[in-house]
Amino acid sequence: MDVELNIPKSNKPRVVVIGGGFAGIEFSRALPEEDFQLVMIDRNNYHTFQPLLYQVATAGLEPDSIASPLRKMFDNRSNYYFRWTSVEKIIPQENYILTGIGRLDFDILVIAAGSKTNFFGNKEMSERAFEMKQIPQALDLRSQILQNFEKATITADPLERDSLMDYVIVGGGPTGVELSGALAELKTHVLPSDYPELDFSLMNIYLIEGSPTLLGPMSKFSQEKAFKYLHKMGVEIKLNARVQSYDGKKVKLVDGTEINSSTVIWAAGVSGSIIDGLKEESIFKGRYKVDEYNKIIGSENIYAIGDIAAMVSTKNPNGHPMVSPVAMQQGKNLGNNLKRKLKNETLKPFEYFDKGSMATVGRNKAIVDFPHPFDKLHLGGIFAWMAWMFVHIFYITVFRNKLLIFINWLWSYLTYDKGNRLIIRPFKRESNKPRAEIKELYETKVE
């Protein structure tokens, strides 16, 4: 029945994993290849190292260095199949999924589809704001930023110039903090020499956060340090602030403040990329409700790991935080548990080992909260920044990418420059014939 995806039947149980993010990758690494056939589905043909997306958006890194082709990553694995497509529906009663390219049967299904931007129903924002979840989005934002300054250079209208040079970032979590820090560095070190005609004291970067602090889940030390760093770098931070409306040119906050900005970046929240087909009782606040073995409540052979899984307990009444360490650990634990199950060994319930958390604000500026039992310890400044770089290079999957990122960072550090200032927008061919075919193909594959 799975003839459509051209995957041969195997005498091993078939595990289908949806998503090649941190959870899917770690799961696939832990799953023993001799005991299972593994099929990975992703709508991109590469794994994205999301923590560094903001550096792609701000010209610090080229996209290729934070992406790893998913076929390459497992090309030594036997009985592994990758299919580049989206998943449209799960039919749990009959153990198959419907994808953009056809039907695929499974013995075990692992949903690691991650999360998508949550606009909390704000239609204006969902239509006009930039997102930061995928590489094409980061490239889109990079082009937009550079185009803004090209346009600001030639406009005679001061209001338009103002709108082109002002940035509003909604959400004071790690993405919002890191992105506004990177924009502030562009403003200080890179853009003024590129655009000598412009007065960069007119460039304002606003960071809007609904709660009373930045970096909600981090320590008070880190929250205050991040605030201080950003403030010193010229970012205007508005806490306890909420966006009321946005018409593409002007952001209105609930307190009445108006900001002219043609570029709003929405980093205020994510929700699970739920797929059609499972019962309502399996879903909890936009994520799949799972037991302590990551099995979805109400299913026998369907699991969820990473951002999309809500493992509710007294300690975590809303499930674990939607961060990569949880995803990686759940993926690994599930991979090992499937092996244990096959051998009739006792399964190991998931336990989150919190490794602490960190965020970077800019050159020599970062913050680190250490994990239990050192959770009274915090680090700021250059040592935190070096730790942040080390950890990120360590977790980058492919050695070649480690090398490229290291060189880019070293280069930027020595020269204060960010080299990837290319405006690359979709290319328009003279005829739209082949383009139309391509577009069609693309649109069936990506939501």
The helices-and-strands tally (H runs, E runs) of the chain is: 13, 25
How is the chain split among helix, strand and coil, in percent rounded to 5?
A: 40, 25, 40
Q: Which is nearer to a second copy, 103 or 339 (CB)?
A: 103
Smallest distance from a second copy to CB 442, Å: 5
d(C-alpha 59, C-alpha 156), whole Å: 27
CB of 11 to a second copy, least distance (A): 18
The residue among 9 and 279 lying less far from a second copy, judged by its C-beta, is 9
User: Which amino acid is it at 27?
Assistant: F
**Cα 75 from Cα 82, distance rounded (Å):** 10
Which residue's structure tokens are 């073995």? 293
Closest to a second copy by CB, 59 or 184: 59
Minimum gap (Å) between residue 364 Cβ and a second copy: 21
CB of 420 to a second copy, least distance (A): 5
Minimum distance from CB of 116 to a second copy (Å)? Answer: 10
d(CA 355, CA 182): 25
- Please identify which residue in the block is written with the tokens 């205050």: 224
8 Å CB contact between 207 and 215: no
Alpha-carbon span 19 to 379, nearest angstrom: 34
Q: Are 325 and 354 in contact (CB under 8 A)?
A: yes
CB 149 → a second copy: shortest distance, Å?
9
Please, which residues have CB within 8 angstroms of residue 369's CB and are 6 or more apart in sequence? 218, 219, 221, 222, 356, 357, 358, 375, 377, 378
Residue 419 beta carbon to a second copy: minimum distance, rounded to whole angstroms:
5
User: Which of helix, strand or coil describes residue 175?
Assistant: helix
Amino acid residing at 307: D
Instruction: Give the separation between CA 123 and CA 129, rounded to whole angstroms.
Output: 10
Shortest CA distance to 395 belongs to which of 130, 51, 84, 58? 51
How far is the C-alpha of 157 from the C-alpha of 152, rounded, in Å? 9
Closest distance to a second copy from the beta carbon of 194 (Å): 4
CB 430 to a second copy: min, Å = 6
- Is the CB of 341 or the CB of 425 nearer to a second copy? 425
Give the nearer residue to a second copy in terms of CB position, either 134 or 188: 134
Q: Cβ closer to a second copy: 63 or 319?
A: 63
In the bound complex, what is the minimum distance in angstroms from residue 51's beta carbon to a second copy? 18
Q: Tokens 């806490």 map to which residue?
A: 239
Q: What is the rounded distance in angstroms from the CA atom of residue 106 to the CA atom of residue 259? A: 51
For residue 344, what is the enclosing H or E element?
none
Could you write out the DSSP letters of every residue in 367-383?
EEEPPTTSTT-EEEHHH
- Closest to a second copy by CB, 343 vs 428, is 428
Whose Cβ is closer to a second copy: residue 192's or residue 321's? Answer: 192
Enumerate the H helices of 155-190 as residue ranges: 158-165, 174-185
Nearer to a second copy, 156 or 343 (CB): 156
- Kindly tell me which of 7 and 323 has the beta carbon lying closer to a second copy: 7
